[in-house]
Chains A and B, each alone.
Chain A
Amino acid sequence: MKSAPLVAVIQFPGSNCEYETARAVRSSGMESCIYRWNQWRELKNSRPDAYVLPGGFSFQDRIRAGAVAAKERIMDLVFSEAADGKPVLGICNGAQILVESGMVPGWEKGRIETALAANHISGRSGYLSGWIFLRTTARAQQICPWLGMTGNGVIPLPIAHAEGRFVFSEENHYRAESSAALKYCDAKGTESSDYPINPNGSFLNLAGVMNEHGNVLAMMPHPERAFWMWQLPPWIPGEWGDRRDKSLSSGSHAAAKGPGSMFFMSLADYFRGER
């Protein structure tokens, strides 16, 4: 029996967040290994407990961001593992790949039911990096293995993307809410569709979308870049700002965990509960 759960981080050509993502997994008490896009056999043989598709620009964002990677052979494996209930997380470009492979929202198997469109909102279009605030939906906290410990509080995380606007066709609007996992809000927790609270014009202020069972989560913000308290900007307001100040004054700043750690710690906790 394996001593700790193994989380596979998949490297596509053009991925660029694989190393820090793998470190975040390891710092949460799990094992992590990076698999190259053409190492599907090795990936299969190592039988991971969970999968992460990291951020980057896989295949140069050819056609659409994530579209080519979604068709790679290695994704067939991830697809079937997800169908078996294994936890899968896509971050930023990873989220785009999950959307392009039809794994989220996944209402009908293999169909592409949402898209991550180019950022567009009154106030700002185009690539945007900065810090946003979000909250986890109640349902997602219950069913998503990546969100069990996130609670009801406001979570500050960084974003860095040009195509992060979740859109659905009109006939699916009614059921989009059921797949909502993470929603943009202001620093006090109030949802808003105004820029910059909603940074990209995303439908229902969605920052993250999950599948029906909650085991697959596609999120645009980068939790691995907020894993440690020291990664937070000095100006972050609210509870996490207070926690940051406290870790600084108490001398525990280098080791204190930040809001992004909750996503990975939740998974570790989920595996503890499972065993």
Chain B
Amino acid sequence: MNLRDELKEAIRHRSLAMTLEEAEKLAGYVGRMPTPLELHLFDTMWSEHCSYKSSRSLLKLLPTHASSVVVGPGEDAGIVKFTEHDGYSWDLVVAHESHNHPSQVLPVEGAATGIGGIVRDVYCMGARVTGSLDLLRFGDPLGNSGEKTRAICRGVVEGIWKYGNALGVPNLGGDTRFHRGYDDNCLVNVVSLGFVRHDRIVHSFVPAEAHEEQYVLILVGKPTDDTGFGGATFASADLEDESEKGAVQVADPFLKRVLSEANMNVLDFLFERGIKFGFKDLGAGGIACVTSELAAHGNLGIEVNLDLVPVSIPDLPSEVIACAETQERYGLAVPKRIAAEVLDIYNEKYEMPRLFPGAGATVIGTFTAEPFYRVLHCGREVANTPVEYITEGIIYDRDWKPSPASVIEPDSRPCDPPEDLKRMLLSLDGASRSPVWSYYDSEVQGSTHFRPGEADACVTVPIPGCRAGLAVSGDGNPWIGELDPFLAGAHAVGEAVRNVVATGATPIAATDCLNYGNPEKADVFWQFRRGVEGIAAACRELGFEGEDPLPIVSGNVSFYNQSSQGGAIPPSPIVAVFGRIDDFTKSTDISLKTPGDLVILVGERMDELGGSLYYRTCIDHRGGRVPAFRGKLEREMALFVLRCCEAGISKAVHDISDGGMILAAAEMAITSRPDARRGILFDTDEMDPVLLYSETPGYLIEMSQESWNAIESKPGFLSVAGKVTDEFSIAAPGWKMDLLEILEDHASRLDRIIWREEITE
């Protein structure tokens, strides 16, 4: 067999995702037929998941620089400056990923591993993880694949609570949406955040000191098995069927908790001794990636001995030991002279081998001055390649072809506010998410101020003793995505910004996860391109610190969310925005407070109901003109809301999104105190679907008449919409919707459909 045929055979036999051209490139690098380990290592490094080979050229459009950015995209997590407290600078660490394919195939494990993986990215920057949130997209639980969709939904929520609650990281909400375009590909996007003292940021490469002194590589955590072998490659192909369960990893929050405590202790020890080190979590590509990247990014080589790796299954081939994605492991590059002390912390002080069979810390490699990646196993050399190639990566320029949806408005737009509101409150997208949140521990760590549902964003007080509050929200609307991929990107930023601003927090950073179908298809790649352009445009307009844009500091691209029948998901750019409020006690929730107060509408309503909840739910129409993104106006409105909060005059603030002004009003009433129920009486008797249901970005603010009167030179986007009443209803002269009669239904709707399988439709 000649080399070409041998490579072809290896790709087929090993189910590699790399093309023959890529395999030939690798063979050229090593100057021979690559070893199995080399093939799998490069298959992972060059997978879409790790290399961003299709997306990288477009991701350059995203604004990533701002004066607040400490670490932008490129390392495991992004870092921005947060606050000063007690003589130290504290930074916010954020990461955002998808775990879509695994969650579709094995929902519990897939979603659990999603959290497990993303928190490691934050931990390994040296941070304490203080929150995570999941952005979930499921198919139609009442549609053709309803039974499967409901099972996936239950499984994903179970995976999230079982992992997150046990790990002790509060769940800060996220969102849950349903669209039949996700019937064959659910989306599980995960965001994690944490805080680190600025002088204690850890990097994921071997430090420069390793050129002067012998450094070794410590592998710590769960013993290696064969789980997740080929995981990154699995995430980089169309989802064919469920025969690929072996590529899904198995998560263990218990081990992770102990490991995190031990890591904290190790990091304290190293910092106190003034020792420079590198620290990186094991994710895609397992040991092979962590060892080669720690070395390559530090301009060193490394020699790894696989015989030293603790394994839980005997006789694993070298490529499996090296590339399996066994969870709950980290790699640590430290000077040889203190390695024994570090091992002691893990193995003796925290007793990892006793707590979990085979777990613990072991030295498995030695950094070398020669820039080669060498791996030994059973006395043989199973890999030997120059390190520079490993991180070099590849780039493709994909073709794209515009395929815009045509704008079709409905023939008529009947408007019956009480009936329409009821339909929306009981719709899948309008029903309360509390059945989902009731499984999540949102309060562990004792720093939660607003839980999911209480305000537009969760607000926490993450640094004990410091008044700086953090607000976080993640958003993305598939119903906009299917009509206008550019606006889907722009509004994902816009809505997340509004949610953060509504609490009184100033947006300081964003992350994104770009979920699309197969990028090799020109129409899909156009959707992706437009989504990136939309996010970039919105971030450039919605910066709140000086002239800086809102920086994207971390993110992820998830392609191939497409079933073998060819159906791609709706374009789904999902954005998380992080905000800071200097005094958290000034933050605002959404609940109505005082009868007689005014309800102020921020943002004129426009006739742009395309993709709205009203169209979908009340008149069964899909299509239409999507709300425009008006960046300058959006920013001015946000600044007004922030000023009101700072002045202490806003008693409740809720952004207007799904269901328009009327649904926002109902949600503000529903969250009022049960022993002090409140409602809203709108001023106008006009039954106008544009006024009541348009999802043009905006806010409702509760404030007293005196506060309203005291506002000098009111901007043109403000108007008085109505008054707070002591009746539990949404009403206007001529109509009234009593909320008590649907309260229980609204609260339990998802529980009844998803968990109790009470399907009445």
Contact = CB atoms under 8 A, between A and B. Distances in A.
Contacts of A187: 674-675
A134 B60 CA distance: 55
A160 B257 contact: no
A237 interface: yes
B441 A129 contact: yes
B622 interface: no
Contact of B674 (A16, A17, A237, A254): A237
A91 to B, nearest CB: 12
Contact of A129 (B349, B442, B455): B442
B161 A235 contact: no
Contact of B675 (A24, A160, A241, A251): A241
A129 B439 contact: yes
A85 interface: no
A238 B161 contact: no
Given A59-B254, A234-B454, A254-B467, A127 B674 contact: no
B444 A160 contact: yes
Contacts of A17: 168, 444-446
Given A38-B351, A187-B675, A222 B167 contact: no
Nearest to B252: A60
B653 to A, nearest CB: 12
A4 interface: no
Given A14-B257, A128-B438, A130-B438, A237 B443 contact: no
Residue of A38, A129, A231, A254 most packed against chain B (CB within 10 A): A129
Interface in A172-212: 187
B380 to A, nearest CB: 38
A248 B167 contact: no
A191 to B, nearest CB: 18
A24 B446 contact: yes
Interface string A4-33: 000000010111110110011000000000
Q: How large is the interface on A (under 10, 10 to 19, 20 to 34, 35 or more residues)?
A: 35 or more
Contacts of B440: 129
Interface string B307-345: 000000000000000000000000000000000000000
Contact of B671 (A56, A130, A234, A241): A234
A158 interface: yes
A253 interface: yes
A225 B443 contact: yes
A231 B443 CA distance: 9
A233 B161 contact: no
A32 to B, nearest CB: 13
A227 interface: yes
A55 B290 CA distance: 34
Interface residues of B, number: 45
A100 interface: no
B374 interface: no
A113 interface: no
Contacts of A127: 161, 165, 439
A11 B585 CA distance: 31
A14 B1 CA distance: 55
A230 interface: yes
Given A126-B439, A234-B671, A248-B585, A16 B467 contact: no
Contacts of A130: 438
A189 to B, nearest CB: 13
B675 to A, nearest CB: 4
B449 A231 contact: yes
A244 to B, nearest CB: 10
A17 B170 CA distance: 11
Contacts of B439: 126-129
Contacts of A222: 443
A236 interface: yes
Given A20-B446, A127-B165, A230 B461 contact: yes
Contacts of B444: 16-17, 20, 55, 160, 225
Interface in A38-80: 38, 55-57, 59-60
A235 B355 CA distance: 42
Interface string B558-599: 000000000000000000000000011100010100000000
Contacts of A163: none
B83 to A, nearest CB: 15
B291 interface: no
B633 interface: no
Interface string A227-268: 100110111111001000000100101100000000000000
Interface in B489-512: none
Given A16-B257, A127-B439, A231 B448 contact: yes
B268 to A, nearest CB: 14
Contacts of B167: 16
A130 B441 CA distance: 8
Contacts of A254: 467, 583-585
Contacts of B450: 234
A254 B467 CA distance: 8
A108 to B, nearest CB: 32
A68 B584 CA distance: 40
Contacts of B451: 233
B675 A238 contact: yes
Nearest to A225: B443
B672 A235 contact: yes
A224 B448 CA distance: 12
* Closest 10 pairs between A and B when the two form their complex, measured CB to CB: A16-B168, A20-B446, A237-B675, A60-B254, A253-B585, A57-B166, A234-B589, A160-B441, A225-B443, A13-B258
8 contacts: A13-B258, A129-B438, A129-B443, A158-B443, A160-B444, A225-B446, A233-B454, A234-B589
Given A13-B351, A55-B444, A236-B673, 5 more contacts: A14-B254, A16-B167, A57-B257, A160-B443, A231-B448
